[in-house]
Amino acid sequence: MMRIILLLWCLCFKVVFHLHAQNGSGNIDFEDVLVYKTSRPDTAFYLAKSIYLNAKKQGDQLRSANAALELGEILFYLADFDNSNSYLIEAIETFSGEGEQKKLAESYTWQGTVTQYARQYSLAFDSYQNALEIYIHSGDSVKIGELYGWMGHYYEKTGIPDTALLFQHLARNILQQKGNSKLPLARIFDNLGSIHEDRGNYDSARYYFIKALEINRSHDEVNNQIVNLNNIGDTYRKKGQFFEALHYTDSALKLAESYNLEYQIRSAHRDLSKIYFELNDYEKAFQNLETTYNLYTEILNEENTRRIALLQTIYETERKENQIALLEKDKRLNRIFRYGMLGIFILIFSGAILVIRNQRMKVNQNKKILEQKTQLFKNQEELNKLELKNSLLKEEKLKAELENQKLKEGELRQNIVLKSQLITSHTLQIIRKNNFLESLKCDLQKIKKSEKKDRIRLANQLVKSIDHDMTKDENWEDFNIIFGQVHKDFFSKIKGSFPEITPSELRLCSLLKLNLHSQEIATILGVSVDSLRIARYRLRKKLQLDKNDNLIGYLMNF
């Protein structure tokens, strides 16, 4: 009899194990991700996430780690640094455990880049150091040279230009010794040019930009060529050599137009407007400025469309994952319930058979045997009660888990509402800007039709109108609302620590906390770069910072 019971239980567990072992497998490969990584990041994210989830189901740790590395890179390009770093941490843990040193070093390098752009400089330095140790141990001098370039960029961003220059020269010396490392060398030359330009050494900066341009031309790197030409033009403009600047910037524009690179076309028109303004050719300056604003609106609309598509993809992916998890949990509960009931039935049926057998043997058994069988039945009853009690406890635990899942879904819906509000506010800003640009277009038509002697006066009025719009309080009110939702209590903490701080200085603090470039901040505030430097200097004094203190790092801690 007991043999029959054991055989039935073994059969039940075998069926359960077989059901759990059945997993689907996708046919997506990493080559599909590479095809869409730059042109359609939302599609690339969906494909990489599918590979990641299927690898997790199949227990393929290396494949899931490679997918996590791809997801970290895609989310970095989309400026989602937190989620990017989370995937990279998972990839690092797996590659470290599996002994995949090459992939581990690549993951550390990406983690350094992500945390550097997220202004987590100490974490970025540690990641670069970990990658460097692996490359030194493997003797990969090319990767060492490339990593020195990233470390030089790190020191440049943390305000240590001498050390940044040292690392860039080390990178250059290593890569120049390798004949097949020309393209990484172009990036090093561009970094050296940027450091010298920030120091005001425009001739040295131009020398390195030209070196980078030569390499990028030999490798048909069109986008990098346009950046190099614009940088060369900037060095000439900053030295007052406007016709030379005009030549290089116009070359960048023609190259960008031939490949229909809208972002680079916009940058070239913006630089041309600056050059024509310096040459007092205000009509051409405003023509290029108008083109810049039109292109900016088109690019912004495209970027918003892509970001909305990505957010929708991420939301749909997470929603499907949650639905799948809930369905799997329901299936698991149903299987447990069915096989639990089957087990209880078997136990009851077995107990009934034993009772009947005992009753039939009652005549031939003495009183002692009868008492033992009765006690056995009582023990079996206690066991059934304990099992029932355990089942009730498990059921309560499952109910608690479902409640926690509902709370998480509520938080997810709140996050989606907040993102929808941000998108709506941004869309309204775009509509207002478009209306303003339409007004500017009408004013420009008036300038064209006006007499030549009145054009300068009308142009100056147009400049004042643009400056007024760029510093409009309505824009800042919307900005303060959105900024306050993301960075809670930032303004109150600053005002509490420094009561004498002015509203304009608070605006500068918020833009610095967003880690925008100086040129972008100057454009938003409607001031020159030199005026911005003075404003930053006064702000440092008001915040009582020492000469060696990092202003952005200080604001990031608020």
Same-domain check for residues 130 and 57: yes
Cα 48–Cα 52–Cα 55 angle in degrees, nearest 5:
135
Select, from the ranges 35-44, 90-99, 400-409, 513-522, the one with the highest average predicted confidence (pLDDT). Answer: 90-99
As a whole number, mean pLDDT of residues 439-458 equals 79
Q: Which of 379, 408, 442 is the last residue of a domain?
A: 442
Same-domain check for residues 434 and 517: no
| pLDDT of the residue at 231 | 93
Token readout for 364 is: 């031939």
Same-domain check for residues 509 and 406: no
Contact of 278 with 242, CB cutoff 8 Å: yes
Length of the chain: 558
User: Sorting pLDDT into bands at 50, 70 and 90, what band is 10?
Assistant: very low
Domain assignment of residue 262, yes or no: no
Same-domain check for residues 430 and 510: no
Asked if pLDDT for residue 38 goes beyond 70, the answer is: no
Write the pLDDT tens digit of every residue in 90-147.
999 999 998 899 999 999 999 998 998 888 988 989 999 999 999 899 888 888 888 8
CA-derived radius of gyration, the chain: 34
Range of the domain at 118: 26-139
Using left for φ > 0, alpha for ψ between -120 and 50, and beta otherwise, residue 220 falls in: left
| pLDDT of the residue at 471 | 58
Same-domain check for residues 324 and 432: yes
Select, from the ranges 157-166, 315-324, 364-373, 483-492, the one with the highest average predicted confidence (pLDDT). Answer: 157-166
Q: Identify the sign of the CA torsion 116, 226, 43, 413.
A: positive
- Indicate which CATH number applies to the domain containing 550: 1.10.10.10
Domain assignment of residue 455, yes or no: no
Asked if pLDDT for residue 203 goes beyond 90, the answer is: yes
Residue found by looking up tokens 């938003």 in the block: 524
What is the spatial distance between Cα 211 and Cα 209, in angstroms, rounded to a whole number?
5
What is the spatial distance between Cα 103 and Cα 101, in angstroms, rounded to a whole number?
6
- The percent of residues above 70 in pLDDT, for the chain, comes to 80
Q: Which of 139, 165, 181 is the last residue of a domain?
A: 139
Select, from the ranges 35-44, 215-224, 225-234, 281-290, the one with the highest average predicted confidence (pLDDT). Answer: 225-234
Same-domain check for residues 76 and 134: yes
| pLDDT of the residue at 419 | 59
What is the spatial distance between Cα 316 and Cα 352, in angstroms, rounded to a whole number?
53
What is the spatial distance between Cα 433 and Cα 535, in angstroms, rounded to a whole number?
27
Select, from the ranges 53-67, 176-190, 406-420, the one with the highest average predicted confidence (pLDDT). Answer: 53-67
Same-domain check for residues 436 and 496: no
What is the spatial distance between Cα 150 and Cα 155, in angstroms, rounded to a whole number?
9
Write the pLDDT tens digit of every residue in 512-529.
888 888 888 888 887 888
Higher local confidence (pLDDT), 78 or 130: 130
User: Sorting pLDDT into bands at 50, 70 and 90, what band is 18?
Assistant: very low
| pLDDT of the residue at 206 | 93
Asked if pLDDT for residue 391 goes beyond 50, the answer is: yes
What is the spatial distance between Cα 535 and Cα 522, in angstroms, rounded to a whole number?
10
**Does the predicted model carry a pTM greater than 0.85?**
no
Domain assignment of residue 505, yes or no: yes
- Indicate which CATH number applies to the domain containing 87: 1.25.40.10
Token readout for 122 is: 């100490």
The candidate with the shortest Cα–Cα distance to 483, out of 523, 427, 425, is 425
Write the secondary structure of 74-115 as one string of H (helix), E (strand) and C (coil): HHHHCCCHHHHHHHHHHHHHHHHHHCCHHHHHHHHHHHHHHH
Asked if pLDDT for residue 14 goes beyond 80, the answer is: no
Higher local confidence (pLDDT), 213 or 287: 213
| pLDDT of the residue at 9 | 40
| pLDDT of the residue at 127 | 93
As a 3-state breakdown, the chain gives helix, strand, coil percent values, each rounded to 5, of 85, 0, 15
What is the spatial distance between Cα 41 and Cα 359, in angstroms, rounded to a whole number?
75
As a whole number, mean pLDDT of residues 327-341 equals 70
What is the spatial distance between Cα 67 and Cα 52, in angstroms, rounded to a whole number?
5
Token readout for 292 is: 């810049």
Write the pLDDT tens digit of every residue in 161-171.
889 889 988 88
Domain assignment of residue 30, yes or no: yes
Same-domain check for residues 395 and 499: no
The candidate with the shortest Cα–Cα distance to 244, out of 219, 220, 210, is 210
Q: Identify the sign of the CA torsion 271, 276, 277, 283.
A: negative
| pLDDT of the residue at 416 | 67
Token readout for 542 is: 């008001």
Q: Which of 378, 407, 442 is the last residue of a domain?
A: 442
Asked if pLDDT for residue 22 goes beyond 50, the answer is: no
Residue found by looking up tokens 């077989």 in the block: 18
User: Sorting pLDDT into bands at 50, 70 and 90, what band is 286?
Assistant: confident
Domain assignment of residue 214, yes or no: no
Domain assignment of residue 397, yes or no: yes
| pLDDT of the residue at 95 | 92
CA atoms within 13 A on the CB side of 545: 16
What is the spatial distance between Cα 517 and Cα 482, in angstroms, rounded to a whole number?
20
As a whole number, mean pLDDT of residues 474-478 equals 67
Question: What rounded mean pLDDT belongs to the chain?
Answer: 80
Select, from the ranges 194-198, 329-333, 427-431, the one with the highest average predicted confidence (pLDDT). Answer: 194-198
- Residue 386 CA to chain centroid, in angstroms? 51
| pLDDT of the residue at 21 | 38
Same-domain check for residues 436 and 325: yes
What is the spatial distance between Cα 486 and Cα 445, in angstroms, rounded to a whole number?
41
What is the spatial distance between Cα 430 and Cα 125, in angstroms, rounded to a whole number?
39
Higher local confidence (pLDDT), 459 or 551: 551
As a whole number, mean pLDDT of residues 465-476 equals 65
Dihedral of CA atoms 161, 167, 169, 173 in degrees, nearest 10, equals 180
| pLDDT of the residue at 417 | 64
Domain assignment of residue 525, yes or no: yes
Question: Which amino acid would we find at residue 243?
Answer: F
What is the spatial distance between Cα 411 and Cα 409, in angstroms, rounded to a whole number?
5
What is the spatial distance between Cα 88 and Cα 277, in angstroms, rounded to a whole number?
46
Asked if pLDDT for residue 444 goes beyond 80, the answer is: yes
How many structural domains does the chain have? 3
Asked if pLDDT for residue 318 goes beyond 70, the answer is: no
Contact of 444 with 462, CB cutoff 8 Å: yes
Write the pLDDT tens digit of every residue in 239-256.
999 989 899 999 999 998
Domain assignment of residue 270, yes or no: no
